[in-house]
Amino acid sequence: MSPLKRFTLILGIASTAIAGAQTPIETAKSDLDKAVSELGDTKKEYADLRRSLYRDINRLDDEALKLGKELRGLQREEERRTATVKTLEREVEARKTDFNYSSGILSQYSKAFVTRLHPGENQEYLEKVNTLDQKAASAAEDPKMELTERIKVLELGIDRLGKIAGGHRFEGKALRNGSESVEGQLLVVGPSVFFAEKNGDFEGVATFAETGTALPTVVAIRNSGNKISGTINKMSGTLPLDGSMGKAIEVEAAKETLWQTAEKGGYVGHAILILGAISFLIAGFKVYEVSRFKVPARRELNLILDDLLSGKKDAAMKRASAIPGEAGEMVRVGVDKFYEKRKVLEESLFEKLVIIKPHLDRFLPFLALTAAAGPLMGLLGTVLGIIKTFQAMALYGSGNTKNFTTGISEALITTAEGLVVAIPVLVVHGLLKSMTKAKFGEIEGAAIALINGTTEREKGAQPIESNSQEEADDDDTELTPTLA
């Protein structure tokens, strides 16, 4: 019995004892009944509590079983999800590897695509490819967008292949022979690019040579008859194809005539050529003049001397008159002075030799001057050309190596012209100098023959008495011409 009920029972007994006059048996019986009643209530209460506890225990057991089952299910789910996460991580790594590989391949394709473009296609595709590359680089945090931009370059390349297979025409600019920029239409047919100016004045084939700019160099086709312009406009016709990728056409176009090469020499080159032409004309004239200069033969002189020694001056003069030119005039003077003093004859002949010598040597100093001045004038033209080339580099930069090398080659043309003129003129001057020297030697021989003839005359004549020793010395003195 609980302490509370006991206390209540005691209070009831005490109150009964105080209030009534019950006997102890009745009181004990009454207490017993109450105690039995309370015991029954207590048992019932305990039974109810026990059943409640059993129900709670059963419920908790059921819940524990259920939770254990759920726990095992969650553990299996966790294991499954862990495996799935690992699988997804491996798949993500594989996809990243595939993406990096694809992105790298597409990036390499983009770079290779630019390098494989014909210079004539740069203005059509170069800016587009650079823009797509920049967009792909800026979208590095978004792989999908980056891959999308990379794929656009591939689509652009595929589209280009389709266009050039059937011929792709577009508006653009080109460099006329590598220097002047002109506007027109370009036609891409396979590996070849053709260009035609808008007004139709210029057309040709674009070469693969790098110009340092986005514009291609167009080499004109000689005697093309506007076939390229017509084909570009109509997208149908005949085009010149070069299996060497434009090299053969470029080499053929680079060939120049002699006149075209001379034109590149400028004013200095023209002056050199004019000077050379004058020198060659003078050389031709001198060859004609020296070869036509008549020198009396030894046989003719011997006949004249025989007449003079025989006293037949008129016959000798007649023979001398038959000799033409300045040499004949010298022989006539010798015949006229033959019977005078030896000194007078020598002085007369020497005077004629002094006149003949400059006549034979005339214009030869001009040839020597040309031979010396030609290389110097060529060097002057080269220096002026190089100055112009460096001035152009200062204005337009040195990116266009072709223009730079072309300017240097044109500057060197004047040096070549100076040497081409000077070397032959120098050789011709030497030959003419030898010819004139030989011719003058023959004339000197004729003069000496006349002087020596007086010795034969004096052997057969009476000695002339001299009034003084001075006159005798003058008669014995021999003057020999010393002209070179």
Q: Average pLDDT per run of 10 along the chain, which is 484 residues long?
A: 62 59 74 84 86 88 90 91 92 86 85 81 84 83 83 86 80 76 83 81 76 74 73 79 65 67 78 90 88 78 76 77 75 76 77 81 88 89 82 66 66 87 91 87 79 66 38 40 40
Tokens for 105, please give them: 């391949």
Which residue in this structure is represented by tokens 């170069």?
Answer: 126
CA separation for the pair 227, 186 (Å, rounded):
14
Predicted confidence at residue 476, as pLDDT, reads 40
> How confident is the model at residue 242, as a pLDDT?
67
pLDDT for residue 475? 41
Answer yes or no: are the C-beta atoms of 196 and 184 closer than 8 Å: yes
Model pTM?
Answer: 0.51
Which residues fall within 8 angstroms of residue 30, CB to CB, at 6 or more apart?
A: 16, 22
C-alpha dist (Å) from residue 236 to 198, 231, 366 = 18, 5, 63
The residues spanned by each domain of the chain are: 3-102, 119-255, 268-462+470-476
What is the structure's pLDDT at 83? 93
CA-CA distances (angstroms) from residue 239 to 188, 194, 203?
A: 11, 9, 12
Task: Give the pLDDT score at 483.
Answer: 40
- 3-class secondary-structure state, position 306: helix
Using alpha carbons, select from 139, 123, 94, 107 the residue that is nearest to residue 184. Answer: 123
pLDDT recorded at residue 440? 83
Residue listed under structure tokens 């390098």: 115
pLDDT of residue 481: 42
477 φ/ψ sector (left φ>0, alpha ψ -120 to 50, else beta): beta
Do the beta carbons of residue 50 and residue 57 sit within 8 Å? Answer: no
